[in-house]
Structure 1
Amino acid sequence: MSSNSTTITLNDLPSSLRLPPRLSAHKYFFVCTLTVAAWDTLVLSPRSWKLLKSEGWPILKTIFFFLRIFMPAEFVIVGVAFFDTAWSSSVSTACQKFFLFEPISTTFLLAACSVVHVIRIHGIYDKNRSVLYGMSALLALQVVVTAISSAFYRSVPLDAGQGCIAGPKHNWVGIYWLSVTFFHTASFAMAVNRSIQSLSVKLLTPWKLMLRDGLNLYGAIWFVNMVNMIFWFVIKPNSNNDTIKTVVTSMTAVVTTTMTLRIILSVRGTLHYGGSFTGTGSTSTGTHSGSRGIATARVPPNAPSILQIHSHTHTAHTFTIDGISQKVEQGWDGNEGKADVLPIPDDDRKGVKITVDREIADFEPPRAK
């Protein structure tokens, strides 16, 4: 009794399964990109709904929902062309009409993300116009470079059934992503610099500083863009149909978008004008009265309240209170921010009564005659 065995070689497989190693890695990595986009869409849904119900439509809120819809829609469409075996550049004219979709769409996506960074950096620098002009100039440079570079992409010549992928016609087309990386390097540096400046007000460990100011978000964007630069300018393609340069571009766009969404959600204070910086607060310095046994912390007439400490002991001290109205901004959803507690010396705790009086007006009512 004999049995017939069939040996299948690599050449017997259809071209859609007979992928070069780098193209195969590219397709696996794009699956990861789609997974990140889908996961981010789901995990941010509760906070997105809360933001949607908030009052008004400032620029940051409008861009937030644009990015929420546009980013997953773009890469679902790109994914169809990427994996559909009928979209091969060598057998379908559809790819020749479609391949510019990703670089052009990503231009709009990245521009919207960069607008968020301009507004937010302007906000944390207390609406400094020099910061606004500088970041706006980098944004304009990015938009111009990415728009021009988009015209110099091509359809990578792949075998039938291997999909439709856009690639650069020339190596200099990498300035598309170089301009984006340059912008986010400046954004990351400005955010770090602002956080370091705040250490003169309140010392924090690097870990707490990073979490408080969202430096991990800016850093993640910078990191993925720098990795993308390695693929564009360091790693060399093996042939004309090697897609190695664009392996990380889709992931870079998705991570830049997801981290930018979280930057919007982490804004302290109102979303108008980029919010405020959490590392500083307004401090009023109190002055003491000359009466024995009473220490009164006075603030300007327009302050919301006055904290008075009355001592009923005969040995109470008269002292000056600093920083009693330390202001900590809350987030747009009212959940962020924590008030500091004013400590009372141990030797003055006995017989001390603390009352909070709110001023209704800064004038005295007329006295009855």
Structure 2
Amino acid sequence: MSGSIVDALPPSLNLPPHLSAHKYFLVCTLTVAAWDTLVLSPRSYRLVKSPGGWPTLKILFNFLRIFMPVEFVIVAVAFFDTKWSQDSCQKFYLFEPICTAILLAVTSAVHVIRIHAIYDKNRAILLTMGSLFAIQIVVTAVCCGFYRSVPLLEGQGCIAGPKHNWVGIYWVAPTLLYTVSFGLALMRSINSLQAKPLSPWKLMLRDGLNLYGAIFLVNLTNMIFWFVITPTGPEDTIKTIVTSMAAVLTTSMTLRIILSVRGSLVQGGSFALSASTQNSSRTTHVISTRSGPVPTNVSTHNPGHTFTLDDMRSKTEADWAAHDKSSVNEGKPPILDNSDNEQPRRNPAVGVKITIDREIEYDGAYHAK
């Protein structure tokens, strides 16, 4: 009896196990995309309103924010609409591989820019990441021509699948780039421990290593489905079951990589340790000595004047008195005493403040004293 009832179901409800799992997985993908769009909305608004123009990372961020949910809403309509005919699918099936290739290209561009930035614009890093990026663009473009419409029954939806197993290099190219990106980000963070020791947990959060690692893992999982799991037939969609989730999570984590940049996004920003060092530095008037390497800082009540130690030694008392009238004591008249000679008496609250900063080596790190 149960078998006859199942056979009587329409094809839209009588789904093979792998196709049914694929539909559930796509629902999870849409949930993640919607949740990500909602959660990041306040931070996205602040980023759009932030000063500093529109550097490349800011433009790519806003493109990904719009393009990713739009793409997968359209893909979901084609996959879940029971009235979508297979004739219509023959004209539409390339939409997902082409749009996903564009999505991956933009996220990879973010990784190239960011990794290049945290390595202080190192040309070797740019050459390595740029080469992987160029290979990815060519490979994904070529592979789009070797997709096909999966031969599903009427009412079971429209989805693209590979014609050959080697088409999986469509995902190998970006996975290789994200692997190198994760490795370089990890190495940069580990090397920074020499300047500022941190616990592994704080290091991971400071440099966003969890974001790079999540992108690497989700793309590695996708590779397992492409090359390890064997489909049961040409209508089996098991190979592409994780591709949508991999694209959405890669985009989501990449957006957070951009948001985790401290300071300006111009030229990809800077490394987190460099930004924190700059923010914590003191604002002083720096003067250098010609006789030694120790930096000496002098600040006055008028920040428009700085002096070297040699200048200070060479000035006579008359020179300092003349300068006091125009700079240090600017805007503050001298205080006259009541004596007969009426010599001006300087205000003791006005003067020159000298601050000496030294850098000493202690346990392999440099600290300001």
What TM-score, normalized by structure 1, do the two folds share? 0.77
- 2:196 match: secondary structure: coil
How is 1:239-278 mapped onto 2 (pairs within 5 angstroms)?
239-278=233-272
How is 1:112-123 mapped onto 2 (pairs within 5 angstroms)?
112-123=106-117
Give the structure 2 partner of residue 53 of structure 1: 49
Q: 1:6 to 1:249 in 2, by over 3 A?
A: closer
Give the structure 2 partner of residue 360 of structure 1: 304
Question: Considering only aligned residues, what root-mean-square deviation do their CA atoms show, in Å?
Answer: 2.6
CA contact (8 A) 1:237 1:243 kept: yes
Question: Which whole-Å CA distance do the structure 1 matches of 2:295 and 2:21 have between them?
Answer: 58
Q: 1:14 to 1:186 in 2, by over 3 A?
A: same
CA contact (8 A) 1:198 1:280 kept: no
Give the Å deviation of 1:306.
6.1
Q: Does 1:183 align with 2:210?
A: no
Segments of structure 1 that go 5 or more residues without pairing to the other structure are 285-298, 308-321, 326-354
Question: Which whole-Å CA distance do the structure 1 matches of 2:2 and 2:275 have between them?
Answer: 77
Q: Can you list the C-alpha shifts for 1:2-61, whole angstroms capped at 9, x where unaligned?
A: xxx999621010000000000000000000000000000000000010011112000000
Give the structure 2 partner of residue 304 of structure 1: 283
Q: 1:324 to 1:68 in 2, by over 3 A?
A: farther
Question: Which whole-Å CA distance do the structure 2 matches of 1:207 and 1:87 have between them?
Answer: 49
Give the number of equivalent residue pairs: 302
Give the structure 1 partner of residue 359 of structure 2: none
CA contact (8 A) 1:212 1:278 kept: yes
Give the Å deviation of 1:304.
2.9
Give the Å deviation of 1:130.
1.2
- 1:279 match: secondary structure: helix
Q: 1:57 to 1:11 in 2, by over 3 A?
A: same
Q: Which amino acid aligns with 1:117?
A: H
Question: Which whole-Å CA distance do the structure 2 matches of 1:250 and 1:7 have between them?
Answer: 33
Give the structure 2 partner of residue 15 of structure 1: 11
- 1:34 pairs, out of 27, 30, 37, with 30
Give the Å deviation of 1:118.
0.6
Q: Does 1:71 align with 2:65?
A: no
Q: Which amino acid aligns with 1:190?
A: L
Give the Å deviation of 1:357.
7.3
Q: Does 1:232 align with 2:226?
A: yes
Give the Å deviation of 1:235.
0.2
Give the Å deviation of 1:202.
1.4
Question: Which whole-Å CA distance do the structure 1 matches of 2:29 and 2:36 have between them?
Answer: 11
CA contact (8 A) 2:82 2:154 kept: yes
Give the structure 1 partner of residue 119 of structure 2: 125
Q: 1:50 to 1:178 in 2, by over 3 A?
A: same
CA contact (8 A) 2:219 2:246 kept: yes
More helix by share: 2
Q: Which amino acid aligns with 1:191?
A: A
Q: 1:134 to 1:16 in 2, by over 3 A?
A: same
Question: Highest CA radius of gyration, 1 or 2?
Answer: 2
- 2:161 match: secondary structure: strand
Segments of structure 2 that go 5 or more residues without pairing to the other structure are 287-293, 323-369
Q: Does 1:194 align with 2:147?
A: no
Q: Does 1:134 align with 2:148?
A: no
Q: Which amino acid aligns with 1:79?
A: A
- 2:157 match: secondary structure: coil
Question: Which whole-Å CA distance do the structure 2 matches of 1:59 and 1:229 have between them?
Answer: 30
Q: 1:368 to 1:109 in 2, by over 3 A?
A: same
Give the structure 1 partner of residue 165 of structure 2: 171
How is 1:272-287 mapped onto 2 (pairs within 5 angstroms)?
272-280=266-274
Give the Å deviation of 1:323.
11
Give the structure 2 partner of residue 314 of structure 1: none
CA contact (8 A) 1:88 1:158 kept: no
Q: Can you list the C-alpha shifts for 1:40-84, whole angstroms capped at 9, x where unaligned?
A: 000000001001111200000000000000000000000000101
Q: Which amino acid aligns with 1:46?
A: P
CA contact (8 A) 2:150 2:161 kept: yes
Give the Å deviation of 1:160.
1.1
- 2:29 match: secondary structure: helix
CA contact (8 A) 1:33 1:250 kept: yes
Question: Which whole-Å CA distance do the structure 1 matches of 2:229 and 2:79 have between them?
Answer: 22
- 2:121 match: secondary structure: coil
Give the structure 1 partner of residue 340 of structure 2: none
Give the Å deviation of 1:225.
0.1
CA contact (8 A) 1:88 1:162 kept: no
Give the structure 1 partner of residue 79 of structure 2: 82
- 1:154 match: secondary structure: strand
Question: Which whole-Å CA distance do the structure 1 matches of 2:30 and 2:164 have between them?
Answer: 27
Question: Which whole-Å CA distance do the structure 1 matches of 2:295 and 2:18 have between them?
Answer: 60
Q: Does 1:156 align with 2:150?
A: yes
CA contact (8 A) 1:283 1:324 kept: no
CA contact (8 A) 1:304 1:358 kept: no
Q: Which amino acid aligns with 2:41?
A: S
Question: Which whole-Å CA distance do the structure 1 matches of 2:2 and 2:107 have between them?
Answer: 55
CA contact (8 A) 1:306 1:358 kept: no
